[in-house]
A and B are shown apart, each in its own frame.
Chain A
Amino acid sequence: GENVEQHPSTLSVQEGDSAVIKCTYSDSASNYFPWYKQELGKGPQLIIDIRSNVGEKKDQRIAVTLNKTAKHFSLHITETQPEDSAVYFCAASRADTGKLIFGQGTTLQVKP
């Protein structure tokens, strides 16, 4: 069945450094790839997303890239800040079902 693999599971960076989280998906029909940030005890918050007709999207310090051929997509956070510390999830979905298949999550720790 559909599967999304996410790496790394944990990531620790110094404040100001960049962080990169990578995901691969198995269903070639997937066409929507959101990223969520989840803080402890809260629901996931959509931070950026990309559709399959776009290769890259940027929103201030956050960017997402998509390689449809390789079925890879990545989240890039630049100039990290302590408040970026959270669990980040990638997901993939296809238009006909709308169901999100989530990656396993990455715990990002930004050290001041």
Chain B
Amino acid sequence: GAVVSQHPSWVICKSGTSVKIECRSLDFQATTMFWYRQFPKQSLMLMATSNEGSKATYEQGVEKDKFLINHASLTLSTLTVTSAHPEDSSFYICSAQSGTGGFEQYFGPGTRLTVT
């Protein structure tokens, strides 16, 4: 149980284009999903928290107009990187937390984004 998937697993895009990453909880309902980015050999940095049906809460320094997050259902959240630039190249990882009162967060396998 507690499986989270991400799609795509890797993507290469040209500078100036937008990329959408999907995060799905496969066997549980996730009232809260989190989006992280991770640079090589570094820790995970929380970008935003999204609750189903409401606007995402972004961490300080994260541009909400650049990283659009939608949490339209209890099993799906999407992150869209708009007008991507090479500095947006990173490993993006989502996590999901069930609505049953548990603390546990289960992570997806990550999406490697390369902007050329």
If A98-B49, A99-B49 touch, whether A93 touches B104 (CB-CB below 8 Å) is no
* Interchain pairs with CB closer than 8 A, number: 54
In the assembled complex, how far is the CB of residue B81 from the closest CB belonging to chain A, in whole angstroms?
18
B44 and A89 within 8 A (CB): yes
Interface size on A, residues (CB 8 A): 23
B93 and A43 within 8 A (CB): yes
A46 to B42, CA, bound (A): 18
B46 and A100 within 8 A (CB): yes
Residues of B near any A CB (own CB < 8 A): 4, 6, 32, 34, 42-44, 46, 49, 93, 95, 97, 103-110, 112
Residues of A near any B CB (own CB < 8 A): 32, 34, 36, 41-46, 49, 51, 89, 93, 95, 97-105
The 4 A-B pairs of least Cβ separation, nearest first, read: A43-B107, A32-B103, A43-B109, A43-B110
